[in-house]
Each structure stands twice: as structure tokens, then as C-alpha cells.
Homo-oligomer: A and B are copies of this chain.
Amino acid sequence: MRLVRDIRTMQELSQKLRCEGNTIGFVPTMGYFHQGHLSLIRIARQKADVVVVSIFVNPFQFGPKEDFKSYPRDLDRDMKMALKEKVDFIFHPSEQEMYPKNYSTYVEVTELDKYLCGASRPGHFKGVVTVCTKLFNIIRPHFAVFGQKDAQQAFIIKRLVRDLNLNMEIIMGPIIREDDGLAMSSRNEYLNQEQREQAVCLYKSLKLAESLIKDQGERDPQRIINQMEGLINRLASQSEIDYISIVDTQNLKPVDRIQGELLIALAVWIGKARLIDNIILTTPEKADKTDIKE
């Protein structure tokens, strides 16, 4: 495994590997690996000849009051974990390398960034999309793996790749959870023991929504959201809900009726950790038809 810190070297390596006929798989990360990251790396390792993992805590995707400075970092630990997963290259540029003096270019995916985290973190996705465009141009991978945990991000990056003709595939890896269902996240580090116990409310509210739709045939998104909200408030005294949304996976707009492929997503503050989670589910066509007849 090789650590690469400068852009020029990484570009030359990728170009050479590509022209030698290697398939390059890429996993962009902000480091501080947990099982979620490792699962994405394993997907890349299975499909690619060469696996590149980037570790870069991107300042532009954090808001002015967000946790850029306190975001956990541990390169040595990450390197050891990556080595075990047979990663070929860690790309770990400095801020100065990525954003030189007079940096002034930004990439934006409109429409898909209006709701969910896009609404509560203005500028966040512009930062994500810009850094991903740069990383894709540097690494020129055949595919990149993104976690479903940041589902809106994955959908936005898919659109970016299509629109800017980036000639690569985006693969969405499943959410990896702790035993009690809490989605793995570097930000879980911020939780004390009581908060950690309460944090399971996100997952439980998603399971409740799934059950309301699949078992009880509920078709009104607002009634589902209300019940999710009620459950979170009962389970977690230290919680503050940022949003709970049910959106169409095609355009990430809130639906007024449960049908088609849906993303149910939420962000909840537990103490100083803003946690997110989601499920993607398809309402069977026949449920809708039955429903129309009623």
C-alpha cells in the first residue's frame, strides 16, 4: 500500500494504471474508519484491480458552525485498517494542495439538494460535489463506492457523474449498523453512554415507518412522519429532530402519497452529534391499485 499526498503523482499513477488495463475502484472518505467504510472498501476490492481510498476532511462541506475542527482524525489507525483490506493507494492531500490560493471554482447539482440535509445544511452539497469532482478528476476511477447512509449524497453524485460526463459508475453500498441498529458513523464518537443508548431511536423510527407502510398499508406520509416523531421523542429525551422526510428517489422531493421507490430519511441531534439514517423502500404496485379502488 502506498500513501500519496500530491495531486500530480496521483494523476500520473492513475493514468498509467488505467492505460495498463487496470480497473480502478475508488472510495472517497473523510477518514476515521469504521465498519461502514470497510464495507465500501471491500466492495471496491471485490470489483477492481486497483483500489484507491482518499482521506480528506473537506472544509468546504462543513458550515461555519459545524464540526470541521473537531471531526475525528487518525491517519495511522486508518492506514493500518486499509492495509488489512488490501487497499493499494491512500490519497491524502493537504488542504493547500486541494484548495490553492485564489481557489474559485464550484460545482453544484441543483434540484436534488433542496430537501433533506440540503435544506438544513446550506452549501454542504456544493462542497461535497466540488471535492468529488476534483477527486474524480485526480483519480479517474472506473467506479466509486458511496454509502447509502448519506443517501442524498449518493443520489446527487450519481447525477453529477451523468451530467458532467465523468464516465464512471457510482455504486451505493448498504448501511452498516451496530448490533442494536444504530448506523455506523464517525460522529457516534461524540455520544456519551446515555446518548449512545438513545441514538437507536433513529433506526427504530425507520423500522416503525416500514411496518406502518408494509404491514398496515399506511399511505399518508404525514401520518407516518408524525408517528416517527412521537417515537423519537418518547425514546430519546436528549434528541432534537432536524428533519424527517419521505421523498421520491427520482427527484428527492417530498411525496404526498406513499407510492413508487421512496427514501425515508431523518437527521436527529443527540447531544452535539447530528446523526442521520434512512431506508429505501419500494411500495408494491398492487398495494397502490388496491388502494385506488377503495
Enumerate chain A interface residues (CB-CB to B < 8 A). Answer: 7, 11, 18-19, 100, 102-112, 129, 133-134, 137-138, 159-160, 162-167, 251
Cα A112 to Cα B18 in complex, Å, equals 34
Per the bound structure, the CA–CA distance linking A261 and B18 in Å amounts to 41
For the complex, give the distance between the alpha carbons of A132 and B116 in Å: 31
Query: Knowing that A133-B164, A138-B165 are A-B contacts, what are 10 other residue pairs whose CB atoms are under 8 Å apart, sorted by A's residue number?
Result: A7-B165, A11-B165, A105-B108, A105-B160, A105-B164, A106-B108, A106-B110, A107-B164, A137-B165, A138-B167
Shortest Cβ distance from residue A284 to the other chain B in the assembled complex, whole angstroms = 25
21 contacts between A and B (CB under 8 A): A100-B162, A102-B251, A104-B109, A104-B111, A104-B159, A104-B163, A105-B110, A105-B129, A105-B159, A105-B163, A106-B108, A106-B110, A107-B107, A107-B108, A107-B164, A108-B108, A134-B163, A134-B165, A137-B164, A137-B165, A138-B167
- Interface residue from B18, B103, B112, B166 paired with A104 (Cβ < 8 Å): B112
Which residue from chain B places its CB closest to the CB of A111 in the assembled complex? B104
Partner of A164, one of B111, B112, B134, B251: B134
A137 to B166, CA, bound (A): 6
Determine whether the beta carbon of A105 is less than 8 Å from that of B109. yes
Residues of B within 8 A of A159 (CB): 102, 104-105
B163:A103 contact, CB within 8 angstroms? yes
